[in-house]
Amino acid sequence: MKPHVQLKYWQIALQFTATVGLAWAIYHGTWDWLGWMLLAYFVYGFFGVTVGYHRLEAHRSFETSPAWRYLLVTCGMLCTIASPLMNLLVHRTHHKYADTNRDSHSPTVQGWREAWFGEWMERKVFLDPRVAKREVRARGYQLTHKYYVPILAAYAFGLWAVDWKAALFLYAIPAALLFHVKGFFNTFGHTWGYRNHETDDDSRNSWLVNIVTVGDGWHNNHHADPSRWNISERWYEVDFAAWFIQLIRRRPQPDRPKDLQELLRQGTKS
């Protein structure tokens, strides 16, 4: 079974487990575990997706120490939205072909169901391998992609061995919620909000998206210049991720190779 098919069924199993688990938790009033669940959601979503997967891995918008990078990428993997390689391939392709028929999660072109549940609908996701030439050849990316679901399963069963509630509230429910956060981000980030820049796509800025994604709501600012680690432009555009990145990024920031710098900027659509 191919890795993306394994991930689809794993995600569906997490959705069922999370639904039953939440119903059980609310019925029995296990509010302490629900508090731990919200903390896990924040750790995976903020450190893993917003900082690690998005600004560090997909866009290389800042440099940090190897220890921080491994920690952030590991948190990103535990979000269960995609392997590190697949995530950056899909996201960089999205930026290169934003809101065209080559953008696999554009709500304005593909529709909201495709943007939200595209990986489950067995359609072909368009990927441009040219956006990640070095990563596609890197053995670390290849291994974590090939064995992504087994890695997740080992983590889940490790938590289960300690306490089944830990597996439920510290992994299954947060991961299930973050799947829908990704769908929410793909959909509302390109349909609802205001624009500071007249980009060649439908990206929007939104306080609601910023709160739900813990820092990635200024999407129009981001599409105007994806290479920036701080995407806030107006005084009321609070960028939670930039506050943290300011603490861990290396100074001075090394210059990127020109080909990568150009790639990560919003280029001419083809």
Who's near 251: CB < 8 A, 6+ residues apart? none
- Neighbour tally for 28: CB within 10 Å: 9
Instruction: Judge whether residue 259 has pLDDT over 70.
Output: no
Which run of H or E residues covers position 4? helix 3-28
Tokens of 264: 């990560």
Which range marks the domain in which residue 104 is found?
Answer: 3-264
d(Cα 104, Cα 119) in Å, to the nearest integer? 9
| pLDDT category of residue 252 using cuts at 50, 70 and 90 | low
| pLDDT category of residue 115 using cuts at 50, 70 and 90 | confident
| pLDDT category of residue 265 using cuts at 50, 70 and 90 | low
Instruction: Judge whether residue 255 has pLDDT over 60.
Output: no
Task: Report pLDDT digits (tens) over 120-157.
Answer: 765 667 788 899 889 999 999 999 999 999 999 999 99
Length, in residues, of the chain: 270
* pLDDT for the residue 262: 60
Instruction: Judge whether residue 270 has pLDDT over 50.
Output: no
| Residue 269 in domain | no
Domains in the chain, number: 1
d(Cα 165, Cα 3) in Å, to the nearest integer? 27
| Residue 270 in domain | no
The larger pLDDT score, comparing residue 115 to residue 148, is at 148
| Residue 175 in domain | yes
Helix, strand, coil in percent for the chain, rounding step 5: 65, 0, 35
Who's near 135: CB < 8 A, 6+ residues apart? 85, 88, 89, 141
Task: Report pLDDT digits (tens) over 36-47.
Answer: 999 999 999 999
> Is 123:114 a contact under the CB 8 Å cutoff?
yes
d(Cα 130, Cα 92) in Å, to the nearest integer? 10
Amino acid at 261: Q
Give me the chain's average pLDDT, please: 89
Q: Which alpha helices (DSSP H) does 110-257 contain, by range?
A: 112-117, 133-137, 139-146, 148-162, 164-167, 173-188, 207-212, 219-224, 240-248
Instruction: Judge whether residue 26 has pLDDT over 90.
Output: no
> Is 213:185 a contact under the CB 8 Å cutoff?
yes
